[in-house]
Amino acid sequence: MDVLERIGQQVKNNPVVIYMKGTPQMPQCGFSMRAAQALGSTGVPFAYVNVLQDPEIFENLPRYADWPTFPQIYIDGELVGGCDITLEMFENGELKTMMEQAAAKSEGSDSAA
């Protein structure tokens, strides 16, 4: 499977996914750490991809949605942005609302995530 197809499946099959350096438990950069903490603070489950363990994704993800940096957060199949945007959305309450809506939509669909 082509790497962009693989990314597309990850984005479509998970209500919320963060592409980050490291893992939420062991982030490898400050931006990834802060973004993952914001996602985790919502209480809504989310998926993650450690781009440092997958060089193909690391090299090609910036082409997928024309976003050059990491982390990248996708909610309901759409790129939300990186660390700064995620933190801003967390602070104004928008992040939790979007994540809850995406999770509820996913639970109501017939497709397996």
pTM over 0.75: yes
User: Tens digit of pLDDT for each residue in 58-71?
Assistant: 999 999 999 999 99
70: which residues sit within 8 A by CB, 6+ positions away?
A: 19, 20, 21, 29, 31, 32, 51, 58, 61, 82
* 72-82: pLDDT as tens digits: 999 999 999 99
Query: Three-state SS for 74?
Result: strand
Structural domains of the chain, with CATH: 3-94 (3.40.30.10)
